[in-house]
Amino acid sequence: MEQTYTQEYEFLKVSRQDRIAVVAISAPKSLNALNSVIIGELTHFISNIDEDTRALIITGDGEKSFVAGADISEMATLDRIGGCAFGQAGADLFRMIETLPIPVIAAVNGFALGGGCELAMACDIRLASNKAKFGQPEVGLGIIPGFSGTVRLARTVGMGYAKEMIYTGKIIRADEALRIGLVNAIYEPEALMDAAMEMAKKIAANAPIAVRYAKTCINEEWDMNADDAIEFETEFFGRCFDTEDQKEGMQAFLNKTPVEFKNR
Residues labelled as active-site residues? 118, 138
- Nearest-10 crossing angle of helices 149-157, 159-168: 130
User: Phi and psi for 7 in degrees, rounded to 5?
Assistant: -65, 130
Is residue 70 a contact point for ligand CO8 (CB under 6 A)?
yes
Q: How far is the CB of 59 from ligand CO8 (least distance, A)?
A: 16
> CA-CA distance, 32 to 25, in Å (whole number)?
6
Options 114, 129, 203, 211; binder of ligand CO8; rule CB under 6 A: 114
Buried b (16+ CB within 10 A) or exposed e, 150-161: bbbbbebbeeeb
Is residue 42 a contact point for ligand CO8 (CB under 6 A)?
no
Instruction: Select 75 or 192, whichever has its Cβ closest to ligand CO8.
Output: 75
Cβ–Cβ < 8 Å for 126, 182: yes
Q: How far is the CB of 122 from ligand CO8 (least distance, A)?
A: 12
> CA-CA distance, 243 to 26, in Å (whole number)?
40
Is residue 208 a contact point for ligand CO8 (CB under 6 A)?
no
**Which range touches ligand CO8 (CB under 6 A), out of 43-51, 111-119, 176-184, 243-251?**
111-119
Applying CB under 6 A, the residues found at the interface with ligand CO8 are 30-31, 33, 68-73, 75, 83, 86-87, 90, 111, 113-115, 137-138, 141, 145-147
